[in-house]
Amino acid sequence: MNIVFISLEDQPTPRWKAAFPDLSLVQSVGQYLRLSSHSGDICFFDSVGCSSEEAKTAIRRLSDQGVTVVGLSGTPSDAEAYGLLTAGARGYCHVDATPEQLSEVANVVAVGGFWMPPGLVQRLVSSALKVTPELPQPPPEGFDQLTEREYQVAMAVGKGANNKEIAEELEVSERTVKAHLTSIFDKLNLRDRVQLALAVNRLPFH
């Protein structure tokens, strides 16, 4: 997995370097696309200093070349997240995210999943529920395999809760929540929490 950061920064930030010691840093999309190969790259695009339209245009250029892109923002918002994801980004997080979160984002998008703020997941699910006919549907396949605690975690994800909120609600550690999610994804054959939220709410996903 080749990690590339596109940023106006002269040097990788300490957090980026801690997450990905072997990362590559380039200053523009054009510079990056002039490289001979982008196969298998995960590209973190730092949108700090860019307008919303400039960021979306850059991500479209990268996505059109088959690059897996994660948008980084200095002031994250649901509106910006939606715009960048619509433009082709597979993930979106704060430019100063912890090394652990950056690694988790990379692992999720590397296997075809999406990473987005829990609040946006909740808004997407709520919006979809408003336009989806309420037809009787069977429980999602595999839900009967979940333990009681895994079921509680899955339901909380369906409401848009993040790991910290779930941990506080269930009075367990965030590490335990992550372990439950890993087991849930495996049992339900899901890639990420976005698909899980849609499954919990009986909504289609691709």
Q: Are residues 58 and 75 in the same domain?
A: yes
Say if residue 178's pLDDT is above 60: yes
Helix (H, G, I), strand (E, B) or coil at 100: helix
Q: Are residues 137 and 60 in the same domain?
A: no
Residues in the chain: 206
pLDDT in tens, 11-43: 999 999 999 999 999 999 999 998 867 878 999
- CATH code where residue 162 lies: 1.10.10.10
Is the separation of the CB atoms in 32 and 69 below 8 Å? Answer: no
Q: How far apart are CA 138 and CA 75, in angstroms?
A: 41
Q: What percentage of the chain has pLDDT greater than the value 90?
A: 52
Under the banding of pLDDT at 50, 70 and 90, the label for residue 206 is very low
Say if residue 177's pLDDT is above 90: yes
Q: Are residues 102 and 141 in the same domain?
A: no
- CATH code where residue 86 lies: 3.40.50.2300
Q: How far apart are CA 114 and CA 85, in angstroms?
A: 9
Q: What is the domain extent for residue 158? A: 120-200
- Look at residues 80, 95, 113 and tell me which one is the last residue of a structural domain: 113
Dihedral angle computed from the Cα positions of residues 131, 121, 56 and 42, in that order, rounded to the nearest 10 degrees: -130
